[in-house]
A and B are shown apart, each in its own frame.
Chain A
Amino acid sequence: MEKITADVVIVGAGGAGLRAAIAIAESDPDLDVALISKVYPMRSHTCAAEGGAAGVKGADDSLENHFHDTVSGGDWLCDQEVVEYFVNQAPRELVQLEHWGCPWSREDDGSVAVRPFGGMKKKRTWYAADKSGFHILHTLFQTSLQFPTIKRFDEYFALELLHKNGKCRGVVAMEMRSGRFFSFQSSVVIMATGGGGQCFPFTTNGAIKTGDGMAMAYRAGVPLKDMEFVQYHPTGLPGTGILLTEGCRGEGGILVNKDGRRYLQDYGMGPETPVGEPVLKTMELGPRDRLSQAFWHEQKKGNTVETPWGDCVLLDMRHLGEKKINERLPLVRELASSYVGHDPVTDPVPVRPVIHFMMGGIDSNLNGETPMPGLFAIGETACSGLHGANRLGSNSLTDLLVSGRRSAERAAEYARKAGEIPEDPAMTAQSEDVVTAIRELLQQSGGGESIAGIRREMKSTLEEGAGIYRDEEGTLKACEKIAELRGRYGKIEVHDKSNVFNTDLQQALELRNLLDIAETVAEASLERRESRGAHQRLDHVERDDEHFLKHSLAYRQPDGRPRIDWLDVTITRSKPGVRDYSGGKSE
């Protein structure tokens, strides 16, 4: 096995990983950065983000406003010092991106334009048409090309963290094209591997979002925080899960059930507003979680429409007319026509809630530090306490930048202090063990389990047991089932034996990661016996600040099952209050 040493290893080259890499390269050209990614950087799922990135801009807005929107949006589960830092740094980071060439949309006077977004009191979402994440990612990637100290390892699949005496010491990865293994040894690893929406059946997340970084950290003994908080987006296309932006409803699209009734009025989001005249915070412009929950009730009542892709409700935009749709929602028209064969100009489009974002992740703080010295975590894979129980739309893209830069500063400092990476046979041995396990996985046969089969079962288990609404019985069942699937995973067979670009093996390894995090989602959902933000329990419908104004922490036990512990939330200025559910709090 080849050994590669670097001062800082970054796993993940999405928005967060790239931002961190640039920050290190800019601040200290003496530090070598190894940037590992399982796909070419511009394929990272940051490219799929449409809406935009939030940061206070303009005289009528204030950092205070952004702070309060975020904290109440997160149902007070946010760590407030993190939010404070975040809202402070957000504008600066977004301007930085502008200086690097991001093609932000503009106002008449040539300044960067901002748009309104759900849950944000003021217009503060910076956007680049309906491809904000795409442009952010490409700007960062292209900017990173000027730094010779960033050494990229594209299409290297990270497998396992290396650690010794509780300290992080690197990571083992496999080069996809050759099947060769590499031991990246370093005193600092920044984990930036994105979310894990692929553990659910319907998701806006790409195939690569398999929670690898979370699982690696979890197996290395680092807890996963707030895993029960998973955000649904109410209007995804059935089948593919492709996102139809909130803009559809912002422009005046309405949601109806099979009887043509605007059912949202039955779930506390009324009174019904006139068609084509959307009113902020009511009906279709209610919050994401509420809309998704209303779908669930309609489905239970049998009011949903049966489609080839399962139960749906209808997003009706016909009254907007062809001209407006072409002008404001061209991508939506293209996506809906192409993927479900319904042109919004002439047909209502079937939609359903789809998994969108994981608030939870590797336990980290303001600086991206995790409980394991030397291991940092940023972006969607981390849970710094910024998003609390429910992320506000457009806070995530900004977080990639803010947490990326901040953790890079700290990581650089840590690396400089740690100095030379010593030759350590124990690390090489640890790496060898990882490889041996994979070789064994490749060899084993005859177990009779298939990767796709277990994956399907896992997905439907989570959807049923830890979906939009949860209860004791369902989550318990999900926990058992996933533990069982984890057992059966031992009997899978990897048919592809090639060393070259073995995607069969990759999918097997990703499935293992998904199972690990799926189990923490189910287990944390079971233990949080209250309803808060994206976590709604039918058997505990109220928020319970007395017992659960706490982060959950999932630790992996020796038998592989998670143990849930609790951690206090940092509250500085904003005491828990009523989250105004009459609308608009969530994005």
Chain B
Amino acid sequence: MSRQPYVRPVSKTTWYMRNGRYRKYMLREVTCLLVGVYCFLTIWALAALAAGADTWNGFLASQQNTVMVVFHAFALVYFLIYQAFDWFKLAPKAMPVQLGEKKLPDRYIIIAHYVAWAFVSLFVFWLTGVI
């Protein structure tokens, strides 16, 4: 037979280098590491809290150094760009809202998410006495 379809190789490990779209996706996906880190940081905090005031204060003190400042600052920016904002942007795809014969324009859903997000953030700041 003369047919001999040619299958182009796809690298299973470096495929995302093929274009910017894929790289952005990978940058989003690895935010899970940050989530993991902060989950365990928080658990650590809870452990300190459970152990009493001294341990708690010790925990707070242990966090106060330049390395952590840099890390948190980086994490905050990275997380906002690649996880939070992306998640809000994609929300209307997963949960479209149809009103009668028209879809609610995506931007309203996105705005609603931002409003809710601001509210949650402010609430937490208020709760923790930051503001």
Residue numbers of B with Cβ under 8 A of A are 1-3
Contact = CB atoms under 8 A, between A and B. Distances in A.
A500 B5 CA distance: 10
Contacts of B2: 178-179, 498-500
Contacts of B3: 177-178, 500
Interface size class of A (residues with CB under 8 A): under 10
B5 to A, nearest CB: 9
A505 B1 CA distance: 19
Interface of A: 177-179, 498-500
A110 to B, nearest CB: 12
A178 B1 CA distance: 7
Contacts of A500: 2-3
9 contacts: A177-B3, A178-B1, A178-B2, A178-B3, A179-B2, A498-B2, A499-B2, A500-B2, A500-B3
Contacts of B1: 178
Given A178-B3, A179-B2, A498-B2, 6 more contacts: A177-B3, A178-B1, A178-B2, A499-B2, A500-B2, A500-B3
A435 to B, nearest CB: 15
Nearest to B4: A500
Nearest to B5: A177
Contacts of A179: 2
Nearest to A175: B3
Q: Can you list the 4 inter-chain pairs with the closest CB atoms, starting with the nearest?
A: A499-B2, A178-B3, A500-B2, A500-B3
Contacts of A499: 2
A486 to B, nearest CB: 31
A213 to B, nearest CB: 27
A413 B1 CA distance: 39
Contacts of A177: 3
A499 B1 CA distance: 9
A361 to B, nearest CB: 35
Nearest to A177: B3
A165 B87 CA distance: 71
Contacts of A498: 2
A561 to B, nearest CB: 38
A566 to B, nearest CB: 49
Contacts of A178: 1-3
A59 to B, nearest CB: 26
Nearest to B1: A178
A178 B5 CA distance: 11
Nearest to A106: B101
A498 B1 CA distance: 12
Nearest to A179: B2
A500 to B, nearest CB: 6
A499 B3 CA distance: 8
A155 to B, nearest CB: 12
A177 B2 CA distance: 9
A179 B3 CA distance: 9
A179 B1 CA distance: 10
Nearest to B2: A499
A128 B1 CA distance: 44
B7 to A, nearest CB: 15
B71 to A, nearest CB: 50
A375 B2 CA distance: 33
A327 B1 CA distance: 53
A500 B3 CA distance: 6
A427 B1 CA distance: 25
A498 B3 CA distance: 10
A154 to B, nearest CB: 15
A14 B127 CA distance: 66
A308 to B, nearest CB: 36
A498 B2 CA distance: 9
A577 to B, nearest CB: 44
A179 B4 CA distance: 13
Nearest to A501: B3
A177 B1 CA distance: 11
A326 to B, nearest CB: 15
B125 to A, nearest CB: 45
B115 to A, nearest CB: 30
A179 B2 CA distance: 8
B127 to A, nearest CB: 49
A128 to B, nearest CB: 16
A573 B1 CA distance: 60
A182 to B, nearest CB: 14
B55 to A, nearest CB: 65
A501 to B, nearest CB: 9
A178 B2 CA distance: 6
B107 to A, nearest CB: 19
A507 B26 CA distance: 45
